[in-house]
């Protein structure tokens, strides 16, 4: 969870004397009272606080975006942005990620901008266009500050930015997760990442992750992406056996993978068929 330091007004002042750690050579308690109203957030274990050294100003998205980009470059991984609720400034986050071709998952039902954007995406998918009045109506409904705090020029600029991120160039990176339909967020994340944007190394890592997370939809796209490259099959087949992923086991067998390549696979196959 990324936060500007100015988003956090205060944290808990009452601390249980239970868990201690060394900070600056001193023992300090770190267990917070989760029942206290001003506790930071009991649903997150880690926070990254960003500070630009100024007081009373909004921290723009550059530190977060730069951090994500640097981390992806160093770890050779794929980032996914999840939008929960969100306000006017969240649009900057989405735009920066779309420019970097990062998948963005919008949680419909979480409120505010997320609800408005998911509505726009549904309308855009049907009509292939958005009317300014319609956008303004939805923004006013989900973001009260849009009408009360934005002047007319700012409103028009915000509407144009909304319409820009919904163009065909960026639309393919936007995904909507509907909470009321019990959609698996894990599956949604994997589907968002499972794209042609992954290089060969990332494709290999993702295929292994798909087996571990039992993302069965991946079996429909492995052959399209690797076709004649079967170098990964032995390792993935082994993982499928160990993790008890019958759909993947069946897929590799139908792909004419030979489980008798080594004695290790023979042993694993005997175990699998015997269960």
Extents of the domains making up the chain: 1-51, 60-196, 198-274
Q: Which pLDDT value is given to residue 81?
A: 93
Q: Which pLDDT value is given to residue 48?
A: 79
**Residue 182 half-sphere exposure, CB side, CA atoms within 13 Å?**
0
Residue 232, Cα to own-chain centre: how many angstroms?
Answer: 26
Tell me: the pLDDT tens digits for 151-174? 999 999 999 999 899 888 888 899
Q: Determine the 3-state secondary structure of 237 from DSSP.
A: helix
In angstroms, rounded to a whole number, what is the distance separating the alpha carbons of residues 115 and 138? 9
pLDDT bin (cut points 50, 70, 90) of residue 235 is: confident
Q: Which pLDDT value is given to residue 274?
A: 64
Tell me: the pLDDT tens digits for 68-99? 999 888 887 788 999 999 888 899 999 999 99
Q: Kind and range of the H or E element at 49? A: strand 48-50
DSSP state, residue 164:
H
Tell me: the pLDDT tens digits for 246-274? 888 888 888 777 776 654 655 566 666 66
pLDDT at 224 over 80: no
In angstroms, rounded to a whole number, what is the distance separating the alpha carbons of residues 249 and 179? 31
């Amino acid at each position: 969870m990324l936060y500007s330091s100015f988003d956090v007004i205060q944290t808990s002042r009452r601390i249980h004397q239970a868990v201690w750690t060394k900070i600056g050579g001193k023992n300090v308690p770190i267990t917070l009272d989760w029942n206290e109203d001003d506790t930071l957030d009991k649903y997150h274990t880690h926070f990254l606080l960003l500070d630009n050294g100024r007081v009373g100003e909004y921290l723009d998205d550059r530190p977060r975006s730069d951090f994500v980009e640097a981390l992806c470059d160093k770890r050779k991984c794929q980032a996914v942005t999840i939008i929960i609720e969100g306000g006017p400034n969240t649009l900057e986050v989405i735009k920066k990620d779309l420019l970097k071709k990062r998948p963005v998952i919008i949680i419909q039902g979480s409120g505010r901008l997320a609800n408005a954007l998911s509505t726009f995406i549904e309308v855009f998918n049907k009509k292939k266009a958005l009317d300014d009045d319609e956008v303004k109506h939805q923004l006013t409904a989900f973001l009260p500050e849009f009408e009360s705090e934005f002047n007319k020029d700012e409103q028009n600029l915000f509407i144009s930015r909304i319409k820009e991120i919904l163009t065909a160039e960026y639309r393919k990176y936007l995904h909507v997760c509907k909470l009321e339909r019990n959609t698996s967020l894990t599956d949604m994340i994997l589907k968002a990442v499972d794209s042609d944007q992954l290089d060969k190394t990332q494709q290999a890592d993702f295929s292994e992750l798909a087996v571990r997370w039992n993302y069965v939809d991946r079996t429909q796209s492995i052959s399209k992406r690797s076709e004649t490259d079967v170098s990964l099959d032995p390792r993935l087949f082994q993982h499928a056996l160990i993790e008890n992923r019958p759909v993947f086991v069946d897929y590799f067998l139908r792909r004419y993978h030979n489980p008798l390549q080594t004695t290790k696979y023979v042993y694993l196959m005997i175990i699998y068929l015997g269960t």
